[in-house]
Amino acid sequence: MEKIYLDHAATSPVHPEVLETTYETMKNFYGNASSIHGFGREARHLLDDARSVFAKSIGAKQSEIVITSGGTESDNTAVIETALSRESMGKHLITSKVEHHAILEPMEYLESLGFEVTYLPVDEFGQVDPELVQSAIRPDTTLVSIMYGNNEVGTLMNIAEIGAIVAETESYFHTDAVQAYGLEEIDVKRSQIDLLSVSAHKINGPKGVGFLYVSEAIHLPSFMRGGEQETKRRAGTENIPAIAGFKKAVEIMQAEKVQRKEAYNTLKQQVVSELTEAGIDFEVNGASENGLAHVLSLWIKEIPSDQLLMNLDLMGIAISAGSACTAGNIEPSHVLTAMYGENNPRVSQSVRVSFGLGTEPQMIHELVEKLVIVVNRLKK
């Protein structure tokens, strides 16, 4: 049985060219980038080249890129260090109810330290109303963190409009761009973004590496301590092979961005069309037409998402449930709950299909064929 992977929003396979770059770098460039000898200088050159590529991809300066271990560290650094370093200015933070847990849990941690957090609601499409952001900002607000694109339903936020609002205040504006990076055109200056998080493994790069954009106009202390790497902004010996692989992944995505986005939108339309033709009773969650091209959230009516997910897995197809399974415990999706309400059947009957490297139309056809079999079986 040939397995089909349709969960690219969770993580993506490493591109063959990225794999080769990472391996060759690990084999040939093993110096410490902080060392002053030739081996160290070679590693430093690779690091600087990668930083330049990362910066250019979002319209930033090379000096504004801090290499991290990925999206979680970038998010944690942006939220926690901003709050703690600006505590004397105020202890109020703003975010949304549909953020990734790498934002929500640091916010909860800060609440335990005495900070106050405003969690903004979203509409039925998963959008945060910029006017709500504006009305929530107070004199003691030090950070606004709103994600660029939602990982569960694919909703794109009005980042430029929110950025313009926050720019008129003393607050910093952070956005988690982990899902949007690589497919959306991101310009941190034009959108007036102060902090932005990115992870390599979402764009066919290695796991365990990412970056945090930190505007030169703001000061953010180092979250990691123990060395003076990253111009004293993030301690720890840089993972040069992973960073080189990340750079290659960015270069490939930049070159293929338009074609990939078109291909993913076509696949998304194929899923909807074939499910409709097959007579499956479903609805799309969120605004898929104006959302992330690679993410499609579906409400398969009257079918528990966990049962659908497990049955498809046994048939060799990997997708995600709209609810998270942890050690056998089903937790309702906080995103769908925020969009539709706690008792809405969508919360427990939704699945996410996400596309990426290697996804072909035939895979979608097989997904729908097997989904029809599972739905009919479960309804009986």
Residues designated as active site: 325
Pairing of strands 210-214, 282-285: unpaired
Side chain identity, residue 116: E
Q: Please tell me the distance from the alpha carbon of residue 4 to that of residue 359, in angstroms, as a whole number.
A: 8
Look-up of token digits 């106050």: 116
Paired residues of 172 in beta bridges: 143
Which H or E run includes 321? Answer: strand 320-321
Q: Could you tell me the CA-to-CA distances from 361 to 299, 348, 356, 358, 365 in Å, in that order?
A: 21, 28, 12, 10, 6
Side chain identity, residue 141: T
Which H or E run includes 161? Answer: helix 159-167
Neighbour count for residue 165 (Cβ, 10 Å) = 20
Q: In the structure, how many helices (H) and strands (E) does the chain have?
A: 12, 15
Closest listed residue to residue 147, CA positions, set 128, 172, 166: 128
Side chain identity, residue 282: F
Rounded to the nearest angstrom, the gap between the alpha carbon of residue 31 and the centroid of all alpha carbons in its chain is 31
Residue 273 DSSP SS3: helix
Side chain identity, residue 17: E
Paired residues of 244 in beta bridges: none
Q: Could you tell me the CA-to-CA distances from 296 to 86, 257, 289 in Å, in that order?
A: 38, 18, 10
The region that residue 213 occupies, defined by phi over 0 for left and psi between -120 and 50 for alpha, beta otherwise, is beta
Q: Please tell me the distance from the alpha carbon of residue 313 to that of residue 222, in angstroms, as a whole number.
A: 42
Q: Which residues contact 160 (CB under 8 A, 6 or more apart)?
A: 190, 191, 192
Q: At what angle do helices 361-379 and 240-277 cross, to 10 degrees?
A: 60
